[in-house]
Structure 1
Amino acid sequence: MTLKEIKTNRLFQVIYPIVVYFLVYQVGVSFLIQIFGARTGKVTCLLIAGLVCIIPIYALYKRYPKLIPEDNLDRKTLFSYVIWVVGVVAFSIVLNIILTHSSLINSSEGFKRASATLTDGSIFIKLLCSGIVIPILEELLIRGIVVGQLYLWIGRWPAIVISSICFGILHNNIVQFIYAIAIGFVLSIMYTKHKRLSLCIIAHGLINIIVILFS
């Protein structure tokens, strides 16, 4: 395989999963909300679309080349993992508080619509959806696939920056765009440092659970 073919293949491996995500998840959510949203609540529609979308995204993640972590899991390494996860979660909570008290909240109609959707359901469904399913889906896509492929193609820092912008774009409004870029940046740093997607899923899930419980 020539260098040009390798680059073309890497580009396809970044773009194709994003297209799958938008077609299966974003379009699926809109369809489900129109049909069932009034009866089940919008968060239930997010949950169903997320569960369905995890299947093809996980299949793509397993198929593509990925970052391989080191085998050693001594106490020092585990302690480092804990510190990173706690640090990422703490950073996100502080940023969330700052944005919550900013004027952007009231001026963004997109954020208001997103908030209305994310709060339209029982606490159990919200925790299941935003605390487990969505973090798994988004981390498989953005860190597992996008960061992984860009890292292997153009290096660590370009992968971190580009993936963080992609993560922001997925959230469809200015408030969550800013928040997701910042959180995506630190999650991508953690992923490229330790190369363990599970850390990103845990941190992402904890962030969402804390926001849900204290919002």
Structure 2
Amino acid sequence: MWSTKIRNIWDALYPVALYVVVSDCVYMLLTLAIGENTISPMALQILTALLSSPSIVYPYFSDRRGQPQEMREKKLFRLLLVCAAAVCLSVSLNNLILMTDLKEQSETYQKVNASFFSSTVWVELFGTSVVTPILEEMLYRGIVYNRLKRSGRMGMAIVISGLVFGLIHFNLVQFLYAGLIGIFLAVVYETEGTLLVPVLAHAAANAVAVARVETGFLQGFTEENQFFVPISLCLLAISIIITAYLTKGRLFEKQLKYN
């Protein structure tokens, strides 16, 4: 029994380790070939992700081959609700983390954040709202979550896949943020039955983050604003309410199927 559980966990997590190794090697080779200062760090990350993508794409489509795909009827209203919940959750979590000194204490986060916003708005949007959501959702929801779910414990698979998504960012700030976002994305992936929904929700959250920093969107919404805390909590509540509405009864029904 334990050997089966260990095998399931290994099958779910080794694609993450493989992608980390491949992407690190690709990044190093690109740095040697074109120079780290020749292009922006964000452009270098995009090239690295695209060249490393076969290590995600191949196992993702291998898992899907020969399996019946559950496709829930796509409704624009539900998709818009999911994206709205993702944006509200993203903004509220960022705001709540701002209320602590975690960002100032984490040098790793500061370096990642500087790299994240190191290029033009259009390059940043392409990297964070097109390339990253597609590849990360294929890896963490399409592969890691689906393989963990084979154990029959859907709730555990949702939580662990989210935590792995947070841990892979290698700093406490993004662990807290990405871990919770990852759990949310796994939930909507399960309830909506298609990877397209978490991809678009992920893209929407990242696009708002880029717009907020690069265009001054929500510029007046800072800690100095007297409504900063209540609005942040309201956004978090809205995200929870929307998610509860979208998932009501569906996760329980699906868990019964797995059992």
Instruction: Give the whole-Å Cα distance in 1 for the aligned partners of 2:76 and 2:123.
Output: 31
Change (3 A) 1:102 1:33: farther
Larger Rg: 2
Instruction: Give the whole-Å Cα distance in 1 for the aligned partners of 2:60 and 2:205.
Output: 23
Instruction: Give the whole-Å Cα distance in 2 for the aligned partners of 1:150 and 1:202.
Output: 23
Match of 1:158 among 133, 156, 159: 156
* Cα contact 1:24–1:49 (8 A) shared by 2: no
Give the drift of 1:179. Answer: 0.3
TM-score by length of 2: 0.73
Aligned partner of 1:63 in structure 2 is 62
Equivalent positions of 1:41-80 (< 5 A) are: 41-65=40-64, 68-73=69-74, 77-80=75-78
Change (3 A) 1:121 1:56: same
Change (3 A) 1:152 1:105: same
Which of the pair is proportionally richer in helix?
1
DSSP-derived class of the 1:64 partner = helix
Q: Return 24-33 or 89-98, whichever deviates more.
A: 24-33
Deviations 1:60-100 (A, max 9, x none): 10101478333534xxx442332122212211111112223
Could you say what the CA RMSD is over the residues aligned between the two structures, in angstroms? 2.3
Q: List runs of 5+ in structure 1 lacking aligned partners.
A: none
Equivalent positions of 1:23-102 (< 5 A) are: 23-33=21-31, 36-65=35-64, 68-73=69-74, 77-102=75-100
Instruction: Give the whole-Å Cα distance in 1 for the aligned partners of 2:68 and 2:191.
Output: 10
TM-score by length of 1: 0.87
Instruction: Report how many aligned residue pairs link the two structures.
Output: 210
DSSP-derived class of the 1:171 partner = coil
Q: Does 1:191 align with 2:192?
A: no
Give the drift of 1:33. Answer: 4.5
Instruction: Give the whole-Å Cα distance in 1 for the aligned partners of 2:58 and 2:7.
Output: 17
Aligned partner of 2:16 in structure 1 is 18
Instruction: Give the whole-Å Cα distance in 2 for the aligned partners of 1:13 and 1:67.
Output: 20
The aligned amino acid for 1:39 is: T
Q: List runs of 5+ in structure 2 lacking aligned partners.
A: 214-259
Q: Return 48-57 or 140-149, whichever deviates more.
A: 48-57
Q: Return 62-71 or 175-184, whichever deviates more.
A: 62-71
Give the drift of 1:59. Answer: 1.3
Q: Return 49-58 or 176-185, whichever deviates more.
A: 49-58
